[in-house]
Structure 1
Amino acid sequence: MIMRVAKLWSAGVLLVVGVAACDAASPGPMGVAEAGASGSGAGEEAPTPVAGGSVVDAGAAHDADLDADVAAPSPSSGYDVFLLAGQSNMVGRGASFDAALDTPHPAIFQWGRGERDGMIVPAVARLDHNDTALLDRVGMGLSFAKAYYEASQPTPRPILLVPTARGGSSFSAHQWNPGDPLFEDAVLRGNAAMATDPGNRFVAFLWHQGENDVGQYDNATYSQALDAMIGAFRARVAGASSAPFILGQFCPDWSPDPAAKASISSAIDATPQRVPFTSVAPSAGLTSNAGDAVHFDAPAQRTYGARYWQALDVARANVPHP
């Protein structure tokens, strides 16, 4: 099957107007990738959902020169699928969009949400996460996918991102544990995306979270919740039984209670010692939004996407010990 997505730009908003189907880097400490050369309470308020789902408000700067149609691959090809989850730094709160740097890529798609639910649509900044706040901001997903695609030359496969993150979400608020609403939504959407083509290949999970568990969970409790979620994701998402799982670190400039932050940070950093095929993408040197230390700015998000790609091979090499 070939899926075609008709799209147009109107007043800075990407509109999907129809879908037709027709036949025809070096590792540092264990599991922590080296940062590349490029490149005050806990957490943030959760967004208020909007009825009918999210529409990507790209802003005036998004008047990109795009073709009228984007063709999805044939079954003989399939997609490389990635599931993106966590809270707002995975969603993307980076200000601001740059038309030259954040342009869509013709081989990178996303599993749509809201009015585009169940559709394979172009991946644009921002992605269709389970979050409706600050839709003109930049996340790491698109830059990660571009780095992965370029590294796959000369025989790259098209990429399908499954965005499922929500700002302000946590384990302690019963959102990401197996059985919780956001976890179950991510599993459902990951499996639906995988079922679109028999040639699909699940490649990895991208996770950034923890700010809203600072001060709520201690190191042991957070570690237990995180490890249980990773295991459940791998058990329940099709093709993901040993898929790499990449985690991220907090913004260096963010300064909540130091001991509480360190407790969660150390749990994240030690994940590769506890769980095989995991790695941590370092945030050293990355910058925050002005007046908003908890969130990476747009340049940092673009760099962080590349660091997550560098961490992919580190996770693959983190094999179980006998």
Structure 2
Amino acid sequence: MNAIISPDYYYVLTVAGQSNAMAYGEGLPLPDREDAPHPRIKQLARFAHTHPGGPSCHFNDIIPLTHCPHDVQDMQGYHHPLATNHQTQYGTVGQALHIARKLLPFIPDNAGVLIVPCCRGGSAFIAGSEGTYSERHGASHDACRWGTDTPLYQDLVSRTRAALAKNPQNKFLGVCWMQGEFDLMTSDYASHTQHFNHMVEAFRRDLKKIPFSA
């Protein structure tokens, strides 16, 4: 099978959630092996450069997905103690690239996977700063509150819509949500399930009955 450099269209997968969804992986980045970018796997940009020292990009551009995605919380400035090349072994290791690789055998050869990174470590439903949201930059780096009308939620909805609008052929796979534990630090932690379900219902209304996997 020939590698597709520029897929004709994308299967869009939004990756969101709390600390377990972030690129908090403690493993050493292996950009020349398991963590190597793939020509059929992209992400929606958030920062000013594709990666530290890399080409410039703009918010919601389609760029290569690396081991350290463009989530709300920027992890690219961290380095593993054993990293010998901070230009390629920058940041921490997330799951998105590996999830996308698992999906490739199940989609047509002329299609790719477009990841929409919307994770924020340390976030919760009933604790944390709400932060701010702008159409030009998405949720602010200090946005730590999920819900149905928070900056993180606006970021989730608007970036998913932006990914789908890139090409009328793009198809939405769903949202992959990975949980965190910050809500356990409050006395109202038992309401987490209710808050989460309300957010999922709102997201499905806003994007017309789409899959949401937690």
Structure with the larger RCO, 1 or 2 (CA within 8 Å, 6+ apart): 2
Give me the whole-angstrom Cα distance separating, in 1, the residues matched to 2:47 and 2:179: 23
The counterpart of 2:168, out of the listed 186, 190, 198, is 198
Q: Please state how far the C-alpha of 1:234 moved relative to its aligned partner.
A: 1.5
The counterpart of 2:209, out of the listed 241, 244, 249, is 241
Aligned counterparts, 1:86-97, within 5 A: 86-95=17-26, 96-97=28-29
The residue identity in structure 1 corresponding to 2:194 is Q
The residue identity in structure 2 corresponding to 1:218 is Y
The counterpart of 1:162, out of the listed 116, 132, 151, is 116
The counterpart of 1:184, out of the listed 126, 147, 154, is 154
The counterpart of 1:145, out of the listed 82, 100, 111, is 100
Aligned counterparts, 1:207-222, within 5 A: 207-216=177-186, 217-219=188-190, 221-222=191-192
Gaps of 5+ in 1: 1-69, 248-322
1:85/1:164 contact within 8 Å kept: yes
Give me the whole-angstrom Cα distance separating, in 2, the residues matched to 1:126 and 1:161: 12
Partner of 2:85: none
The residue identity in structure 1 corresponding to 2:9 is G
**What is the TM-score when the length of structure 2 is the normalising length?**
0.73
The residue identity in structure 2 corresponding to 1:213 is D
1:149/1:156 contact within 8 Å kept: no
Give the structure with the higher percent helix: 1
| Secondary structure of residue in 2 paired with 1:81 | strand
Q: Please state how far the C-alpha of 1:207 moved relative to its aligned partner.
A: 0.6
Aligned structure 1 segments of 4 or more residues deviating by more than 6 angstroms: none
Relative to structure 1, the CA distance from residue 234 to residue 190 in structure 2 (aligned partners, 3 Å threshold; closer, same or farther) is same
Number of paired residues?
A: 170
Partner of 2:30: 98
The residue identity in structure 2 corresponding to 1:118 is N
Q: Percent identity?
A: 32
Partner of 2:142: none
The counterpart of 1:128, out of the listed 70, 92, 117, is 70
Give me the whole-angstrom Cα distance separating, in 2, the residues matched to 1:188 and 1:72: 24
Aligned counterparts, 1:223-302, within 5 A: 223-237=193-207, 241-243=209-211, 245-247=212-214
Aligned counterparts, 1:22-101, within 5 A: 72-73=6-7, 77-95=8-26, 96-99=28-31, 100-101=33-34
2:21/2:180 contact within 8 Å kept: no
